[in-house]
Structure 1
Amino acid sequence: IAKRQLTNTNVPITAIAANMGFSDSHNFSTAFKKIVGMSPREYRKEYRE
C-alpha cells in the first residue's frame, strides 16, 4: 500500500506514515528502507509514474 501511495499520489510521506500506523515518519522511513532497500523519498523519485 505504501509503495502504491508513493508512486501514484502526491500524498506527503508523513501522511503515508500515519496511514500505515506509524507514530512518526522517521520510524516509517527506517522500516521502509529496511524492507525495500531505499528510503520512501528515494523510492518515490525512482518509481514515480
Structure 2
Amino acid sequence: ALIDPADFTEVPDGHDGDAILAVAARVGATRLIDNIPLRFGASS
C-alpha cells in the first residue's frame, strides 16, 4: 500500500509529497514486513 505518513490513508493518483510504501509478503512460513519512505514531485 502507498500511504500518507501523516494519517496512514492511501494516497491518491498524482500525489505530490511524502508517502510510505508498506509491503507484507509471506515466504514459506516466514512473514516479511517492510516500509520505504518516498517523496513524489519536483525536488527543490
Fold similarity call, TM over 0.5: no
Give the TM-score of the pair, scaled to structure 2.
Answer: 0.20
Bigger share in strand: 2
Which structure carries more relative contact order (alpha carbon 8 Å, separation 6+)? 1
| Pair member with larger Rg | 2
Whose helix proportion is higher, 1 or 2? Answer: 1
